[in-house]
Amino acid sequence: MNTFDTDDTDPSQIRNTLLITRHDELQPFIDWLSEARPGTAIWSVQGIGGIGKTTFLGQIQASARRYGADTVYIDGAIGFTNASDLLSYLHSSLQFSSSSSTPLFGSLLNQWHERTHSKKTVILFDHVEEMSFLESFLRKEFVPQVPFENVLLVFASRQGLSIGWRTDPNCVVRLKSLDLHPFTWEQSMQYTFEFGIHDLQLQQKISRATAGYPLALAFAVQTTEQQETAKFGGDWEAVLEMAFRMFSEVAPHLSPLVEGLAFLRSATQEMLVELLELEVPRDHFRDLSRLSFVRTTEMGLVMHDVARTFLLNDLKLRNPQQFDNLFLRAVMVLEKAIQHYPKRLTYQVCHNMATLCTFRPSALTFPHPTMQMILSARALPNCEFLIESDVALLHDMLDKGMASGLFLEETMDHHGLLDVLIHLSPEGFRIVRDRHGHPLAFAAFVPLCGECLAQLPPHIVDMVRRGLGEDFSTYEMTHMAQTDTVLNLMSCVANETEEHTFFDLLLALKVYGWAELSQGRRCLLFGSRPEVTSFYTQLHYEPLYTDTVAPTPGSIMFALDFRQKSMGRWLASLLLNTEIAEAHSTVTPTVESLREALKCLRRPKQYEHIELASALGMSADALMARLSELLLEKRPTTPLTVELQRVLALTYLGQRQGVFAISRDMNISRSTYYRYLEQAHTALLQVLTR
């Protein structure tokens, strides 16, 4: 929920939070709360980013309190190291008494069963995808032992609960699902009216353009408050683009703060001051907190992921130099912040650093003669969870993806191993899909514990035993919910697709793995081929093998260990090492100098000195004429193609458009647009320097 304490300072010019509330969807929960002794129920609330899941949980919580129920809100984005941390948080939130003679789980259950005779309990789990490593514990041990009456468990995530919940007999009979959808036309019109827009034509314009998407709808209304004439058109992505531009005009004092918060994702006032190197008055910080895509937490202000992705991609395109400067400072600010936050909050800071990997060009390469690929600067594809229809497709991918060499190459039944991993930990799968929902890559993680070791193939267990040495016996006795280590036993990446390269897909799996490991855990992986081993080495994975057993190809185990050292320090080192070296001479033509020159095409009479013109030995006017010619000629000069030429023309010629508008005009995804734009810059520079 988006709240902020007021004080005696001047009132803000920005209206307080425009909450998107839902009444029809809330009714089943009101019905449950109205019953005298309802049976324990489990709800999975799901919907895309920006649809209003957190706000909806706030509605449930407020309703439950009105009915006198105990409520506990658990934010998965904060992070819990293991099941004990989660149980301890529940125990203290429900204000149960502690007993040194009774185990924590037993104490919680005993007092909970006693309390439910007279009082309901509502537990709300938000951002469940951020605590997926605890799903097995919640499904297999927690849910079967909660009281049978007066308990409501609500899990909110973008993709819903994993398939294990829908097949587990302890859960399926209690489980209900709710998909949050965009607002209807009538709801959008009512919302705009309730928050002060009484002009019918403007109501219709905003409702039509936002298509009921809550994040865009709230921001469009908030922006319109500050500007009498609002010109919204296109779809909700175009509305976000227009609203951000309009907002920078009507609230210029907040523009740098919004950009700074986009890099940090969550920040205090002091962190923004350090990042931006300017004073941030308290009233400006309060105005920032009241934006519809910003919420207040115990960590400070947090920006919504959808808005953050849009802002960073837009700034990267509009002002690459400013993007690079803020990026480097943000990494250092976040690394410093980790040292001051309590341990239970460091997960979110580490997660913020991990997500920066998706916005930065990387110097990492995949060292294979046929796969010389460099990670592009565009956002990596998202990883999703396993659904029932994926199983057959993953088996098919195994047959087609063997050449990638990203999983164990010893003689084994790979399909049998895949079935075992799905049975052991369906929550541990990460899937990258194309725009049609078909899997392009996957990785499987299972907890290193006695239960899993007992069901894995013997030769894999032997490899783990050789890698861990004396520590192996400890994990044979470790419970799934208490382990500090996970195994990545299988990964598979399809051939290069239209939108993503092989390396994009591979690194996407690893980036999301980093985010999940940042609670102070360790991941073990196997290097099956020399090029994969080289890739792990670049990422600072540590090889594990005992001195008495020589490693053999396909059996080298690597560890990414955050149990003792800070993930923040490791990520900061990795991110700062990927900085692209700046040109040391102004006479060396670079892609960066080309981009600066291209941006001058829209202001032909406003440039004084163009670095690229000096490097090429041309006058500024001659360079501008040459660039215009290359971007408009009917038959592009090789290596420029018609598609690359069109990307450049739409980006740099005529009226400036944002990435959403350009990708829509070209009928391609945003990630494809960024890939084409980078290829176009490189090709154009080759033409100019011949």
Q: What is the pLDDT of residue 2?
A: 34
298 CB-near residues (< 8 Å, 6+ apart)? 345
Give the global pTM: 0.62
Look at residue 549 in the predicted model and tell me its pLDDT. 52
* Residues 61-85: tens digit of each pLDDT: 999 999 999 999 988 876 676 777 7
Structure-model confidence comparison of residues 53 and 504, the more confident one: 53
Digit-coded pLDDT (tens) for 314-331: 777 777 778 888 888 888
- Domain borders along the chain are 27-179, 185-250, 255-357, 381-577, 591-688
Q: What percent of the chain has pLDDT over 90?
A: 9
Other CB atoms closer than 10 Å to residue 265's CB: what's the count?
Answer: 24
pLDDT at 517 over 70: no
Q: Between 321 and 113, whose confidence is greater?
A: 113
If you average pLDDT over residues 521-538, what whole number do you get? 72
Q: 324 exposed, middle or buried (CB, 10 Å; 0-12, 13-18, 19+)?
A: middle
Show the 3-state SS of 525-579: EEECCHHHHHHHHHCCCEEECCCCCCCCCCCEEEEEECCCCCHHHHHHHHHHHCC
Look at 326 and 376; give whichever has higher pLDDT: 326
Q: Which amino acid is at 542?
A: E
What confidence score (pLDDT) does residue 584 get? 35
Paired sense of beta strands 485-493 and 522-527, if any = parallel
pLDDT of residue 64: 94
pLDDT per position as a tens digit, 126-153: 988 777 777 888 888 888 888 889 999 9
Q: Which CATH superfamily includes the segment(s) 381-577?
A: Gcn5-related N-acetyltransferase (GNAT) (3.40.630.30)
Characterise 656 by phi-psi region: left (phi > 0), alpha (psi -120 to 50), beta (else).
beta
Write down the CATH superfamily of domain 27-179. Answer: P-loop containing nucleotide triphosphate hydrolases (3.40.50.300)
In angstroms, the CA 280 to CA 283 distance is 8
User: Is the confidence at residue 256, as pLDDT, over 70?
Assistant: yes
Could you read off the pLDDT of 578-629 as tens digits, one per residue? 443 333 334 456 777 787 778 777 765 555 567 777 777 777 778 888 888 8
- Whole-number percent of the chain with pLDDT over 70: 72
Read off the tokens for 426.
Answer: 């369906």
Per-residue pLDDT, averaged over 241-250, amounts to 55
Tell me what the mean pLDDT of segment 304-319 comes to: 77
Smallest Cα–Cα separation from 510: which of 406, 361, 644? 406
Please list, in sequence order, all residues whose beta carbon lies within 8 angstroms of the beta carbon of residue 37, skipping any fewer than 6 positions away: 149, 150
Q: Is the pLDDT of residue 403 over 60?
A: no
Residue 631, pLDDT score: 82
Query: Looking at the predicted structure, is the pLDDT value of residue 514 above 60?
Result: no
The alpha carbon dihedral of 602, 605, 606, 607 has a sign of positive
Q: What is the DSSP letter of 139?
A: I
pLDDT, average across residues 518-532? 70
